[in-house]
Amino acid sequence: MKLKTNSTFLLVLFVAFAYAVLGALGLTLAIPPGYASPVFPASGLALAFVLQFKRRALPGVWLGSFLLNLANSWLHGTFSLTIVAMTAVLASGAAIQAWAGSWMVKRWKGESWRHLDREQNAFGFLLRGGVLACLMSASISVTGLLLAGAIAPAEYLFTWWNWYVGDTLGVLVFAPLTVILFFDPDNPLGRQRLRIVAPMLLILGLVTLAFFGTARWEKQSQDNQIQADGGIVAKQIADRLITHREVLASLRNFVEAIDDFSFAQFEQFTLITLRDNPDIFALSLNDLITGSQRPGYEAKMSALSPLGSFQITERASQARLIRTPVPLPQAKEDWLRRILMRIDGVQQVKESKYIMLHAPRSALPEIRRLLPGSEYPTIVPLEGTTEKVAVHAVCRENVFWETLESLKAAGASALLVLPVEKMLP
C-alpha cells in the first residue's frame, strides 16, 4: 500500500488521528504523571509521515500530540491553562523531533532513504532518525513538565530517560514498519512486508507483555512490602499504647498510695517515667474542683508550689497561657441556659410547619416516610372509626405542594398546614 493525498487538510487530520491513537496505546504503559512511556509508537509514525510527506505532515504531528496530551491531562483531573500551555510545549517537542529526524535522514541519504534492505542503510536510518533525533523531544518536553510543575526536580533525569527510551524504541520499531507500508508494491522490500512486519510485531508484543508482567510483579512486591511494614508499624503502635496505659496506671497507683505527696516527689516519679518513655512529653495531675472551690484551691497550691503563686490557666490564641475565667454563679448559668434554649427554639421553628391530617392505619408507614423532617409523629384515634387515625407532626423542612399531593395520593385526607410560632426541644 502506498498512501497518497493531495489535500493537506485531509493529510493533517489523518496524521493527527493516527498519532493520537498510537500515542494513547503507548501511554497505557506510561509512568506517573502519565506523559512518559517506555514504548511510544507515535514517535516512529511521526518520523515516517514527515519523511514521506515532508513539512505538510508536521501540523498533523503537532495537533495529534496536543490533543493526546490534553485528553490525558483531562482524564487525570489536572486540566488548567498552565496544562494547556505545557501541552503545546509537548506538541512542539514532538513536531521538532520528527522534523529533525527527517532532516538528518534526508541529509544523509536524500530521497533514497526508503531503501532499507541493507543493514548499513537501516542502521544509519535508525541512528539519525531515532537515537539522535529523539534527544529533542525528551529535552524540550521534560523541561516543559518541570517548568509547569508536573514533575519534581528530583524526577527530571528519570523522566527524561524514560521519555527518550520510549521515543527511541518507538522509532526503532514503528518507523520501519510505517515506511514499509508506504513502499510501492514493486519494491523488493515491499514484497517482503509480511516476512518483516510479523516478526517485528511479535517482538513488540513480547516486550509489551514482559513490561506488563514486570510492572505487575513490582506492584505486587511493593504491596507486600507495604503490608509487611504496615503490620510492623501497627504492632509498634499497639505496644506503645499498652506502655502508655501502664504508665497512667502506675501514676494512678502513685497518687492513691501517697495521699499528701509533695511537688518534689511527683517530679521525681514523673522524671523517671519520662526518661524511660521519650515519646511521652509530659505527665500531670489535674484536680477536679468547682467554681466555689477555686479561690481556696489556688491559695493552697500557691503555698505548696516551689514556683510561688499558682493560678488555673488555659491556652489562648498564639499559644499564650491566660488565667481561666471564673465560672458564672449557678443562678446566672441557669438564666443563660434558658436564654440559649429559647434562641435555639426560635431558630428551629424558622422553617418548621405543623401538619395535621387523617390517614388509614395501613398507610401510616408511607405517611411517615413522606413527612419531611419529621421524627416521631403523634397518632390520635378518631372517634367513630377504627380504620383511620389523626396524624400530627412538626416538620422541620419546608412543606411544598408536591409533598401534600404525595401525602394525598398515599391515602391522607383533611390536610392542614400551620406555621409554628414557638417551640422548645
pLDDT single digits (tens) 267-280? 888 888 888 888 88
- DSSP run (H or E) holding 267: helix 263-276
Q: Is residue 167 part of a domain?
A: yes
Q: Is pLDDT of 48 > 80?
A: yes
How many structural domains comprise the chain? Answer: 2
**Bridge partners (DSSP) listed for residue 395:** 353
Structural domain ending residue among the three candidates 167, 188, 209: 188
For CA atoms 394, 395, 396, 400, the dihedral sign is negative
Instruction: Give the closest residue to 273 by CA, choosing from 258, 284, 288, 287.
Output: 284
Confidence of residue 184 (pLDDT cuts 50, 70, 90): very low
Question: Residue holding cell 395520593?
Answer: 409
Q: Is residue 243 part of a domain?
A: no
More confident of the two residues 187 and 330: 330
Structural domain ending residue among the three candidates 173, 188, 203: 188
Q: Is residue 295 part of a domain?
A: no
More confident of the two residues 373 and 103: 103
Confidence of residue 88 (pLDDT cuts 50, 70, 90): very high
Q: Is residue 263 part of a domain?
A: no
Note whether 372 and 398 are within 8 A (CB).
Answer: yes
Once rounded to an integer, what is the mean pLDDT over residues 118-133?
80
Q: Is residue 270 part of a domain?
A: no
> How does 172-193 read in b/e, with b if 16+ C-beta sit within 10 Å?
bbbbbbbbbebbeeebebbeeb
Report the helix count and the strand count for the chain, using DSSP H and E. Answer: 13, 6
Question: Residue holding cell 543493514?
Answer: 119
Confidence of residue 17 (pLDDT cuts 50, 70, 90): very high
Instruction: Give the closest residue to 422 by CA, choosing from 361, 323, 346.
Output: 346
Please write the tens of the pLDDT for every residue from 203-257. Answer: 667 766 766 676 677 778 878 888 888 889 988 888 888 888 888 888 888 888 8
Confidence of residue 112 (pLDDT cuts 50, 70, 90): low
Tell me the residue range of the domain where 148 lies: 8-188
Q: Is pLDDT of 370 > 60?
A: yes
More confident of the two residues 352 and 1: 352
Please write the tens of the pLDDT for every residue from 137-183. Answer: 889 989 988 888 888 888 888 888 888 888 888 888 888 877 777 64
Structural domain ending residue among the three candidates 188, 222, 241: 188
Confidence of residue 192 (pLDDT cuts 50, 70, 90): low
CATH number, domain with residue 145: 1.10.1760
Once rounded to an integer, what is the mean pLDDT over residues 300-304?
84
Cα dihedral 358, 361, 363, 365, rounded to 10, equals 110
- Exposed/middle/buried for residue 71 (C-beta within 10 Å: 0-12, 13-18, 19+): middle
DSSP string covering 148-195: HTSS-GGGHHHHHHHHHHHHHHHHHHHHHHHHHHHS-TTSTTGGGHHH
Q: Is pLDDT of 185 > 50?
A: no
CATH number, domain with residue 367: 3.30.70.120
Once rounded to an integer, what is the mean pLDDT over residues 376-384?
86
Count CB atoms within 10 A of the CB of residue 386: 8
Confidence of residue 115 (pLDDT cuts 50, 70, 90): low
pTM: 0.49
Dist. CA 225–CA 215, nearest whole Å: 15
Q: What percentage of the chain reaches a pLDDT higher than 70? A: 81
**pLDDT at res. 33:** 54
**pLDDT at res. 154:** 87
- First-to-last alpha carbon distance for the chain, in angstroms, is 84
Dist. CA 65–CA 85, nearest whole Å: 13
Please write the tens of the pLDDT for every residue from 21-47. Answer: 888 887 776 655 555 677 788 898 899
Question: Residue holding cell 405517611?
Answer: 367
**pLDDT at res. 214:** 67
More confident of the two residues 302 and 399: 302
> What are 36's three cell numbers?
512518559
**pLDDT at res. 140:** 92
**pLDDT at res. 4:** 58
Please write the tens of the pLDDT for every residue from 306-328. Answer: 777 888 887 776 767 777 776 66
Q: Is residue 75 part of a domain?
A: yes
**pLDDT at res. 306:** 79
**pLDDT at res. 390:** 93
More confident of the two residues 145 and 188: 145
Q: Is pLDDT of 63 > 90?
A: yes
Mean pLDDT of the chain: 80
Q: What is the DSSP letter of 293?
A: T
Q: Whats the size of the chain, residue-wise?
A: 425
**pLDDT at res. 8:** 82
**pLDDT at res. 163:** 87
Dist. CA 150–CA 147, nearest whole Å: 8
Q: Is residue 369 part of a domain?
A: yes
**pLDDT at res. 296:** 87
**pLDDT at res. 215:** 65
Count CB atoms within 10 A of the CB of residue 408: 14
CA 42 distance to own-chain centroid:
29
Q: Is residue 20 part of a domain?
A: yes
Cα dihedral 274, 279, 282, 288, rounded to 10, equals -110
Question: Residue holding cell 492513691?
Answer: 256
**pLDDT at res. 369:** 85
